[in-house]
Amino acid sequence: MRAPHLILAYVVTAAAAHNEVPAIQQVCERMAQTKSQEAVSIRNYTVIRHYRLAVPHAGHVAEMMVRLTYAYPGHKKFEVLWERGSNSIQKRVFKKLLTAEEDASRFDTRVTADNYNFQMEGVETVNGRKCYVLRIEPRGHGKYLLRGKAWVDAVDYAVVRVEGEPVEDGSFWIRNTHVAQVYKKVAGFWLPAENKADTEVRLFGTAHLTIESLDYQISHSDVENRADAISGSRNPILE
């Protein structure tokens, strides 16, 4: 029989190997490769988005369903399917929110070494998957960048979660905003699943915004489509 202290040593060694953290440069390079592959493979997609905004102090709640169409290299088109709830939120918030998203699509806001400085903070498990936790600090004061943390999948080297505060809130009326973006794996790629934002608005108190992304329909690059046609393979997400 193995001595107890030897068994313990093996367990500790295995655990240490499992939680071994690679150099930040290696993680950044693998993330860049993943982003590059995604850009080459995904040419366009559509997704249904459900928006819900609640301002409890003012008693306002509103919802909106939108069809988002994405076309390479970053063009987004929004089609409002229906709205209900507070008219003031629909007119003053939702329309400006969609305008801001269209504006954001013209900027590079990806979690990359071009936009952020990274610092390794450790390893955590997110939805059963090992992830590297990175502290992210924007390289500049560009619009729509966050100061906070990013969780990177240790196998796919894709961002699965981002959380933090915007570098610029862009309005005197907004005192503080905290954003949490969660991603899900769709047809082999990590795409936005849910976005939550809590904002302190002067005069009205806290506003809670939730954006759920539902039913992705993805079109791959022409090269991959031709390869699928030749091999006779089927992609269930396109059906």
The answer to whether 71 and 44 have CB atoms below 8 angstroms apart is: yes
Tokens of 66: 């939108």
What pLDDT is attached to residue 196?
A: 94
Q: How distant, in Å, are the alpha carbons of 63, 86, 198, 200, 202 from that of 205?
A: 19, 16, 10, 6, 6
For the chain, 239 residues long, give each residue's pLDDT as a single digit of tens. Answer: 445 444 433 333 343 344 578 899 999 999 999 998 888 888 899 999 999 999 887 788 999 999 999 988 778 899 999 999 988 777 778 888 888 888 887 888 889 999 999 999 999 999 999 999 999 999 987 778 999 999 999 999 999 999 999 887 555 445 678 999 999 999 899 999 999 999 876 656 788 999 999 999 998 654 344 334 333 333 333 33
CA-to-CA distance for 221 and 149, rounded, in angstroms? Answer: 31
Spatial separation of the C-alpha atoms in residues 36 and 44, rounded to whole Å = 15
Neighbours of 224 (CB within 10 A): 16
Strand partners, 191: 184
Cα 207 to Cα 126, 200, 231, distances in angstroms: 27, 6, 51
Phi, psi of 87 (to 5 degrees): -65, -35
pLDDT for res 222: 46
Nearest Cα to Cα of residue 221 among 75, 71, 40, 70: 40
Reply yes or no: is the peptide bond before residue 73 cis, omega within 30 of 0.
yes
Whole-prediction pTM value? 0.79
Distance CA 139, CA 203 (A): 33
Query: What is the model's pLDDT at position 144?
Result: 83
The token duo for 118 is 């990274």
Tens of pLDDT, residues 60-98 = 899 999 999 998 877 889 999 999 998 877 777 888 888
Exposure string over 139-160, b if 16+ CB within 10 A, otherwise e: eeeeebbbebbbbbbbebbbbb
Q: Could you tell me if 46 and 67 are in contact, meaning their C-beta atoms sit under 8 angstroms apart?
A: yes
Residue 90: per-residue pLDDT: 78
Q: Does domain 21-234 have CATH number 2.50.20?
A: yes
Q: What is the pLDDT of residue 19?
A: 55
